[in-house]
Amino acid sequence: MIHQLTIVVLGSIAAGFVQGLSGFAFGLVAMSIWAWTLDPTLAGPLVVFGSFAGQMVAARTILRGTRPVEAIPMVAGGIVGVPIGVALLKHIDPATFKTCVGMLLIVWCPAMLLSRNLPRVVWGGYWTDAAAGWIGGIMGGLGGLTGPVPILWGTLRGWDRRIQRVRFMVYNLTMQGLTFVVYLASGTVPRTALPLFAVMLPAVFAATALGFRLYHRVSDVTFRRVILGLLTAMGAVLVATGAVRWL
């Protein structure tokens, strides 16, 4: 039990710090630590709970003086997309799907990092934002991958880090909140997770607050590099996970 608590706290601290800095990737970092020792039925609810709690730490400051309603098209697309992804899950091998997405991230994100002038998408307006949220929702239903497409889309749109973070925060809070409600309603959260929620909460809050303070000290260029670097790491983890399953 002590070993499990230690693993949960370490994962919460590392994931909370990264999420505080970047605004996402809690699940990527946490699962890279938890997946080796925790049962998936336990790790899943912990990821959703930790991600949601961490987002709430910075939500008040990030959303102050902004227009979070501009995230509505992306959120609406995600809400529509999630049930589609869940339905497709019965017909698509999740491991293969995650591996394909991981390979795409490994190729595309470093290319964007090395590019001096990122391409800008200036057409489409809210409809294309909704489409990005829809694809993210489908990917979330298939394998919990709500983040990569909306984040990459925000980069291609040329949103500055504040706009990108606000819109993704609203999007992610909605997706994670709905997911957690469904977990509770369906009895998916095991009883063993309840005391772990209490243990990880202070670790997530403290680490997220520390990462959020660092966020204010980095430039837009540095922030973009952090985002694309994290997406590359996400791709590597997804490919490695798929390879382990196949072996």
Cα distance between the two ends of the chain = 30
Q: Over the chain, what is the mean pLDDT?
A: 79
The predicted pLDDT at position 66 comes to 59
% of the chain at pLDDT higher than 90: 11
Tokens of 52: 């949601």
Please tell me the total count of domains within the chain: 1
Residues 6 or more apart whose CB falls under 8 angstroms from that of 168 comprise 23, 24, 71, 147, 150, 151, 154
Range of the domain at 131: 2-246
Q: Is the pLDDT of residue 39 over 90?
A: no
Where do we find the tokens 């227009």? 67
Q: Specify the pLDDT at position 9.
A: 92
Please give the residue that has the higher pLDDT: either 80 or 141. 80
Kindly state the average pLDDT of the residues 8-28.
84
pTM recorded for the entire structure: 0.73
Give start and end residues of each alpha helix (H) in the chain: 2-22, 26-34, 40-63, 72-88, 94-114, 125-143, 148-157, 161-186, 193-215, 220-246
Please, are residues 126 and 73 in contact by the beta-carbon 8 Å criterion? yes
